[in-house]
Amino acid sequence: MKTEWLPHTVLRAASLLTPSDQRTEWLKEWRSELWYIPWRQAMLASLGAFRDALWLRRNNLNPGTRNRIYLESPFLCIALLATLAAVSIVVAAQLPVPHMKPGTLNARILAGACIGMLLVSALFLAGTLSVWRAPANHHPMPWGITLRWGVFLALKYVLVQPMMVCGFFILLQPGPLGRLANVGFCAVFILVLRWVITDQQQRCPVCLRSLTAPVQIGTASRTFLEWYGAESTCSRGHGLLHVSENASSYSRKPQWLSLDDSWSGLFSAPPGRRHP
């Protein structure tokens, strides 16, 4: 019986775990194999497709094609955060606030709430500093670049506050929505602040673009006097970031290796564009 629908449904469900660019090939292979498997064993065999799909997901040879919001450009990142902040303000303004008459929530109150949330976030800044890993730079950066780096971080920090305020207003709502928000708000609050920091860590300090092409270097079993971890590259060729997998006395912090113009031939961007 080659037209058993259940194993094929299982295959279809498992295929959702595979990277989209390899899904067709993966499905073709599994459907072909299922055709040859006796139908009594087909169901059991098709369950193995989940493990195979997960393996393919974890070991995707083309990580650049992963489905994720691509925020390589700092302008795109700020634009998206600004849009989300604007939407959050609109949503927050529409929500009824307990002990307040409907329609009394004006811009001044919302701005005050955002500033209040910013102060609360600042309390958590000490906690988020523990995950902060500033690139150990052998060549000191010009103050202009450092200032831009700080402004970008501050902008992201400020722009996530309206989203927090919106979440907080949902938290105040009576009924199931408020109870659900009660559980998730703290977790989301911490995760958003953590994202702000980790996103900053994964950006080139010169052009603020997200670092690309992460490559694993070394093996965990050979740590004696040998560094192992991940190396990411700035797509404009400004440098390489070495992030150690396991902190040790000689590689505690990520190492930012600045590249000079002699490396420009290796990168797609013309040399003139490599300078900020």
Partner 1 sequence: MSPARSKRSQFSSCHVEFYIGMLRAMADAQKLSHTSAMILQAISSSHIYGYTVMEVTGLPSGTVYPALRRMERDKLIRSQWERQSIADAEQRPPRKYYRLTRAGEITLEASRNRYPLLARLTPTEEVQER
CB 64 → partner 1: shortest distance, Å? 17
Is 49 in contact with 32 (CB distance < 8 Å)? no
**Total interface residues for partner 1 by CB under 8 A:** 20
Residue spans of beta strands (DSSP E) within the chain: 136-137, 212-217, 229-233, 239-244, 255-258
Residue 180 to residues 120, 168, 169, 175: CA-CA distances in angstroms?
A: 21, 12, 12, 9
CB 248 → partner 1: shortest distance, Å? 24
CB 26 → partner 1: shortest distance, Å? 10
Among positions 32, 104, 130, 268, the unique one binding partner 1 when judged by CB under 8 A: 32
133 binds partner 1 (CB under 8 A): no
52 binds partner 1 (CB under 8 A): yes
User: Could you tell me the sign of the dihedral formed by the alpha carbons of 247, 251, 252, 255, in that order?
Assistant: negative
**What 3-state class would DSSP assign to 241?**
strand
User: Could you tell me the sign of the dihedral formed by the alpha carbons of 201, 206, 209, 214, in that order?
Assistant: negative
CB 232 → partner 1: shortest distance, Å? 21
Nearer to partner 1 by Cβ, of 7 and 254: the residue is: 7
Among positions 9, 16, 29, 179, the unique one binding partner 1 when judged by CB under 8 A: 29
Tell me which residues touch partner 1 (CB under 8 A). 29, 31-33, 35-37, 44-52, 55-56, 59, 61
